[in-house]
Every structure is written in C-alpha cells, then in structure tokens.
Amino acid sequence: MPRVAVLMADSGGGHRSAAISLVEALEGAAHGLFVNLLDEYAPFPFNRLSGLYGPLVNRAPRLYHAIYQASASRRRIAFLEAAAYPWVQSRIAAALAAEQPDLVISVHPIQNSIPLRSLRSAGSRAPFITVVTDPVTPPAAWFCPGVDLCVVATDAARRVALAAGMDPARVEVIGLPVRRAFAAVRGRPKPAARAALGLAPERPLVLLTGGGAGIGRLPNLARTIARRLAQAQIPAQMVIIAGHNQPLQQHLQAEPWPLPVTVLGFVDAMADWLSAADLLITKAGPGTLAEAACVGVPVLVTGFIPGQETGNVTWVESSGMGLFADQPEQAAALVAEWFTPGNPTLARLAAHAAAAAQPAAAERIVRAALDLLADRPTL
C-alpha cells in the first residue's frame, strides 16, 4: 500500500485530532504515518514553538494577535520561510527521506512550504495536500501556492486562500476532518450515554472544556454557572475537562461545588462525553466545534484566540448551533435559561448543530488525496 505521511504538531489539540481522523480514513487503502517535523526534527528554536502556543494564547492573547497580524501577508510568510529554509532543510529532508512517503498531507500551517521544497529538491513527485484546520479566518501561513491540493472547510476560508494567491483549481471546500468516533455516537440516547460514564442518567449535563491545553477562564466561569443553576434549583450536573493543565485540574477538584461536578484532565474518549452532554461550553477551537456539530451538541462559546478563531464565533452563531457570551454572568444566565424545564432552545440549537456537521469530511479528503496519487505515480 502507498505510504502517506501526515504532517502534524502538538501546538493545540486540533492538529493532532485532524491527523488522527485522516489516518483512520486511510485504513485499508494506504499506510498512514504521523510525522511531527516541527517538534521532533526541526532545530532549536523551531522545535520549541509548539510548547509556547498554550502559554502565549492563554496569558498573552494580545501579543499572539500582534504576531498573527504581522504574519497576515503571504509575502512576509514567504520571506520568513525562505530565511528559515537553510537552517532547517537538512533535518527536514532527512526525516522525509527516512519515511519515503508516496503522498504527504499537512494539517499544520508551518509544515507546508519547507517540507514541499525539501521533497521536490530530493526529486520526489509525491503529491502534497494541505488540510486547513482553521475553518473561517485561517492565517496566511496555511497557503502554499505549490501544493497540489488545498482543502478548506468553508467558502469564507476559500476566499482567504484565493486572496493569498492560491490557484482556484487547487482549492476545494470539503470540511474539517473529524474522527469516526464522533459520527458513531450521533443519536445515542443521552441518559444511556451518561450512565455509561458513571454520571446521573436523568440529570442534564453541562460540559465545559478549554481545549487540550486547558485554555480559558474555567474556574470563574464554572463557579458562576454552577451557582446560577443551583440558585434556580435546576437539577443539572457539570463535567469540566481541564486538558493537560494539571494545576487547573487540581484547583477545580478542590472547589466546594453546589451541584454534582466531575473534573477530568485530558480525555481521549471525547466523543463519549459529548454524546452525554446537553450543552458544550468552550473556546472557539475549530476541532472542538466540528466535533460538537458532528454529535449534534449545542455550543456556548466563551472565548476565542484573536485572529485565527475570530471567524469561528461567527460560524457558530450564523449556523444556529450556539451563541457567544464572554462574560461569566452572561453565560450563566443563558445556561440557566436554556436548562429550565420546558425551554425548547437546546433542542433547536442541537438540530442546527447536527445540520452543520460534515461527518464524512475525512473520508472525502482522503479520497481526493488518493485520486491525486493515482493520477501521478511517484518516482
């Protein structure tokens, strides 16, 4: 079977989730390989960039936004890539040569131009595909004119790609790849899903998460929502996922909660927790939003990374699957209103979420990629 290298990194959980979904979709048709060029092969300081991502967006969002704006020009990105290439080329080329890929799929914005240039310099004709995981306002770094195919999730992202100089014939709107597990739990009865996780089956569930890095203002937000639900005597329960942020997890576990609350660290079985939830409260991470839509769970967005996630908030509200509320009291008031017995809002939002889903995106992306390989065998 052909060897397919999926280029990813650990700067945020969305890139890894997208990579996993594509390797799953390749099963039976190709041998999928996870390749982390940035973290495992690039020299210092490039191999430290992923570790800076969480602290930067959590503690210095204005600085991150300034960096985003400074790199908004494709011309500036090309200059930076040209400057970095001599520094990183030998290690990147060696890593790719060791894998000998017949096809390359990148799900990371700074693993496109340099790996592609290394492949072509080595004589490889392996088709190169970029899968953009920022669905509405992607950074310019995603767009390398030399790739064979650039997959985006929305028409808005396609317009950004064309403005960055991409060939329209090489940009295709397919969607964000989502793991099979999320499609598998669509329609699962929520009481049964909750019981399987050890939760009270009949208590509606509020699920809070800050993403894989535990990003966000979870403690104050969770306390405010729990207090409002308890005051309204709504028999709900909460699950809080703190991600890899262990101090945050320990802090939340020590809280005296006024209603049943379960605090978790990073979870692999996110599909099971979403299937049990009546509402997801999260930042506007694209992977998490796509997963929630796939399961048909309404979303209350309470924060976003300035720049790349700004458009995700608009997408949530325009699709009808949720709302944005960045103040804890505002969010708590909405949650209490929606969870009041007899209120139809959650059901309506859930229906819109399911309608916005693209559960087959990973399979469609893989099919398009393998078609390119069939049309152009590698040497």
Asked whether residue 377 carries a pLDDT value surpassing 60, the answer given is: no
Dihedral sign from CA coordinates of 211, 213, 217, 220: positive
Pair of tokens at residue 276: 């049990």
pLDDT digits (tens, 9 = 90+) for 357-372: 999 999 999 999 999 9
- Owning domain of residue 170: 3-178+359-375
Crossing angle of helices 361-375 and 13-26, in 10° steps, is 60
Give the mean pLDDT of the chain: 92
Mean pLDDT on 126-131? 98
Same domain, 30 and 154: yes
Q: What is the pLDDT of residue 87?
A: 92
Of the ranges 79-83, 118-122, 230-234, which one carries the lowest mean pLDDT score?
A: 79-83
Distance CA 116, CA 129 (A): 10
CATH number at residue 68: 3.40.50.2000
Same domain, 170 and 316: no
Determine the residue type at 41.
Y
Same domain, 185 and 86: no
Same domain, 199 and 167: no
Same domain, 36 and 88: yes
pLDDT digits (tens, 9 = 90+) for 298-318: 999 998 888 788 899 999 999
Buried-state track 46-55, b at ≥16 Cβ within 10 A, e below 16? bbeebeebbe
Q: What is the pLDDT of residue 379?
A: 46
Query: How many folded domains does the chain comprise?
Result: 2
Q: What is the pLDDT of residue 31?
A: 96
Q: What is the pLDDT of residue 215?
A: 54
Distance CA 70, CA 307 (A): 11
Same domain, 45 and 103: yes
Same domain, 286 and 218: yes
Distance CA 164, CA 67 (A): 18
Same domain, 131 and 39: yes
Cis check for the bond before 45: say yes or no (omega within 30 of 0).
Answer: yes
Asked whether residue 4 carries a pLDDT value surpassing 60, the answer given is: yes
pLDDT digits (tens, 9 = 90+) for 171-223: 999 999 999 999 999 999 999 999 999 999 999 999 999 765 555 578 999 99
pLDDT digits (tens, 9 = 90+) for 244-258: 888 889 999 999 999
- With vertex at residue 71, the alpha carbon angle to CA 65 and CA 76, rounded to the nearest 5 degrees, is 165
Same domain, 130 and 11: yes
Determine the residue type at 280.
L
Asked whether residue 116 carries a pLDDT value surpassing 90, the answer given is: yes
Same domain, 92 and 213: no
Same domain, 88 and 219: no
* Distance in angstroms between the alpha carbons of the first and the last residue of the chain: 15
Q: What is the 3-state secondary structure (H, E, C) of 97-139?
A: HHHCCCEEEECCCCCCHHHHHHHHHCCCCCCEEEECCCCCCCC
Same domain, 17 and 132: yes
